[in-house]
């Protein structure tokens, strides 16, 4: 079952990266979500009351001058409104805070990728190296998202939710120098 969930997440990310979900919100421009950002149709037969579709991506290029590689890159943390939804009768502050935390987790991992890319020393296989960095951090993000939902029981376990909210805030602060400027 775990492999199926991982495959489903990668397929979803693939659809998003192919433009399946056109509209997007950048964490850098709009870091705090409101219920009006959730534009997807509610899934009424879901056991959940809301869903946040977010992730991170990157672009890169390089040039060589006098034998030195100058790597340029951008890392984006993104929320996809059309892939995110909420049941109209469950729009609570508590649930919005939980969904915001999912977006924040994506931003944590965008910052981790910026940190890794800043430390990266370009070698012979830049494309492969950067893809490996991204893949490893993406696996961490997927794992953290799952642990957050599991331990907080999708926001129903208030004690675990508070613990996670604190942890997420600390992680964002710890990586604040890698926030997009």
Q: Shortest CA distance to 96 belongs to which of 111, 79, 75, 77?
A: 79
Give the percent of the chain with pLDDT over 90.
83
Residue 177 and residue 181: Cα distance in Å, rounded?
9
Element (H, E) at 180: none
Would you call 79 exposed, middle or buried from its count of C-beta atoms within 10 A (0-12, 13-18, 19+)?
A: buried
Beta strands in 14-79 (DSSP E): 25-26, 50-51, 54-65, 68-79
Give the residue ranges of the chain where pLDDT is below 70.
1-22
At 15 the pLDDT is 46
Token pair listed for 86: 């909420």
pLDDT at position 47: 93
> In this structure, how many other beta carbons lie within 10 angstroms of the beta carbon of residue 99?
22
The per-residue pLDDT for 22 is 67
pLDDT digits (tens, 9 = 90+) for 150-160: 999 999 999 99
């Amino acid at each position: 079952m775990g492999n199926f969930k991982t495959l489903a997440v990668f397929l979803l990310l693939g659809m998003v990266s192919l433009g399946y979900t056109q509209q997007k919100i950048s964490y850098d421009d709009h870091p705090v979500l409101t219920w009006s950002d959730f534009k997807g149709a509610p899934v009424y037969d879901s056991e959940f009351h809301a869903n946040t579709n977010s992730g991170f991506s990157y672009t890169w290029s390089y040039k060589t001058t006098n034998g030195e590689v100058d790597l340029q890159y951008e890392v984006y943390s993104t929320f996809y409104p059309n892939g995110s939804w909420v049941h109209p009768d469950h729009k609570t502050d508590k649930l919005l805070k939980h969904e915001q935390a999912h977006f924040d987790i994506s931003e944590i991992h965008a910052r981790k990728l910026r940190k890794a890319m800043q430390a990266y020393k370009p070698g012979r296989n830049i494309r492969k190296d950067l893809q490996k960095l991204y893949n490893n951090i993406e696996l961490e993000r997927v794992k953290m998202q799952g642990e957050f939902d599991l331990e907080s029981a999708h926001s129903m376990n208030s004690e675990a939710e508070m613990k996670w909210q604190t942890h997420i805030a600390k992680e964002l602060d710890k990586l604040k120098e890698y926030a997009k400027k």
